[in-house]
Amino acid sequence: MTNAQSTPSQIKILAVDDEVDFLNTLSRRLESRDFQVTTASNGEQAIKEAKIGGFDVAILDLKMPGMNGQELLKILKENHKFLEVIMLTGYASVDSAVECTKLGAFGYLEKPYDLEKLLCVLRDAYETRLKKKFPHDQKRMKELDLLAAGDPMAALSAMMRLDDLEK
Amino acid sequence: MSYKWDVLCEEGLQFFGKMSASMSHEIKNVLAVINENAGLLQDFVYMHDTGMPIDAKQLKGVSQMIIKQVRRADSIMKNMNKFAHTTDQLTKAENLNDILDIVTKLAARFASMREVSLEKIPPDEPINIKTNPFLLENLIWLCLDSAMDSVGQGKTVRVFTKKIDNSAQITFSQLDSMPEPTPEAFPDKRIEALLCALQAEITVDSKAGTINISLPI
């Protein structure tokens, strides 16, 4: 599926949904905000992409044919330690939210959502990923905490710049 | 003949709930696509406000996507409406193919989730039967559910109707991997109760890979 060439300062997102029309539009909107998005329409394809992709955050639909979002979440978290995962669902329920959280999901959003809301969760997920990757860098953590309080896109850009210093 | 109303009521309510939840889930998916496209339009407006020209081709693409999703939602809602109205009358003269059509459309999402295909073969001529349409839909669903479970991923369940003497028959075929049914597993108490209420009979032929429902005309 789509896999644009990334520049070092782009956040790499893996978006997985069997609703291809939804996936393509979401990908387009995130790419216009300077994310690098790779899409997959099923779990097997997502696992393959994840092996080669080096993604920062994955966005997974909960209900998909074949391997469902929860099963995919479990596999991705087992194999990609620092990957943060945001779950999307048509109908949110407390049970499935708890189950996804237990499996390591960072966030859980109900469709349709405001993109701003998704951007906020993406920002927080990316911040968490950086904190886990660089747990001993206190100065960096303080900077991230300050950035996280502001505009999601501005905060993300600043976080990416900090992350690039480590690459 | 004694109807097991407790079983019929419980199963009927669960069937109605399951189908309603599935259809509303599909509608939410449609709304999510429309929502993303509305957002994309907002992005275009924002880009225009910052001096970038709007590409008419892109606008056309978004407009076509919204039309496509509205048609999809309309089709889901029409089927949902037909399904809801089958509870209007306890007994009604119906074209069997129309009832089968409603259930196969309702089952499409469940089939897709299991990566099973459904193929409905239209009959040569209409078969009109006098029946309780809701209970018959429930019976067809339970058989289809079992059929989809037994064929497994990547397979196709074929469904067709035919008239044999004074009965109408619904056949679920290509169930090659169907295990020999045990009496306690299939037909279960729900199917038994529905068969009794509809005065219908069911036969399972594991070798031929078929489930047949026979209904009085």
**A158-163: Cβ within 8 A, 24+ apart:** A159/A123, A159/A126, A159/A127, A159/A130, A160/A9, A160/A10, A160/A11, A161/A9, A162/A130, A163/A130
Query: What's B121's domain CATH number?
Result: 3.30.565.10
User: Which pLDDT belongs to residue B4?
Assistant: 84
**Same domain membership, residue B97 and residue B193:** yes
Query: DSSP assignment, residue B199?
Result: T
pLDDT bucket at A166, cuts 50 / 70 / 90: low
- B37 and B125 inside one domain: no
Amino acid of residue B53 = P
Task: Please report the pLDDT score of residue A61 as a whole number.
Answer: 97
| pLDDT tens figures, B55-111 | 999 999 999 999 999 999 999 999 999 999 999 988 999 999 999 999 999 999 999
Structure tokens at A62: 């909960």
Sheet holding A84-89, edge to edge: A36-40, A12-16, A57-61, A84-89, A107-110
Claim to verify: residue B187 and residue B118 sit in the same structural domain: yes
- Whether residues B122 and B211 fall in one domain: yes
pLDDT computed for residue A69 by the predictor: 96
> Can you read off the two tokens belonging to residue B59?
């606008």
Last residue of a domain, one of B38, B53, B85: B85
Same domain, B132 and B25: no
DSSP at A59: E
Domain, as residue range, for B179 = 92-216
CATH code reported for the domain at A12-166 = 3.40.50.2300
Across the interface, whether the CB atoms of A111 and B28 are under 8 A apart is answered yes
- Helical (H) or strand (E) element with B130: strand B128-131
Q: Which residues contact B194 (CB under 8 A, 6 or more apart)?
A: B8, B11, B135, B138, B139, B142, B200
The reported pLDDT for the residue numbered A147 is 65
Instruction: Select from B32, B43, B114 the Cβ nearest to the Cβ of A22.
Output: B32
Of all residues in chain B, the one with the smallest CA distance to A69 is B113
Pick the closest to residue A29 from A155, A113, A108 (CA basis): A113
Kindly give the parts of chain B with pLDDT less than 50.
Answer: none
Do B67 and B161 belong together in one domain? no
Same domain, B25 and B79: yes
Rounded-to-integer distance, Cα B190 and Cα B139, Å:
8
Are the C-beta atoms of A83 and A56 separated by less than 8 Å?
Answer: yes
Number of structural domains in chain B? 2
B109 and B20 in a common domain: no
Q: How far apart are CA B125 and CA B163, in angstroms?
A: 9
CA A70 to chain B, closest CA, distance in angstroms equals 14
Distance from CA of A29 to the nearest CA of B (A): 6
Using one digit for the tens of pLDDT, what is the confidence trace for A48-59?
999 998 899 999
Interface test with A, best of B33, B52, B65, B110 (most A CBs within 10 A): B33
B65 and A21 within 8 Å at the Cβ level: the answer is yes
How far is B147 from chain A, CA to nearest CA, in Å? 17
Place of tokens 């029946």: B131
- Are B141 and B101 in a shared domain? yes
Burial per residue of B109-133, b for 16 or more beta-carbon CB atoms within 10 angstroms, e otherwise? bbbebbebbbebeebeeebebebbb
Looking at B85, B117, B151, which one is the last position of a domain? B85
> Are the beta carbons of B153 and A66 separated by less than 8 Å?
yes
Residues B154 and B196 in one domain: yes
Domain ranges of chain A: 12-166
Domain C-terminal end among B85, B115, B134? B85
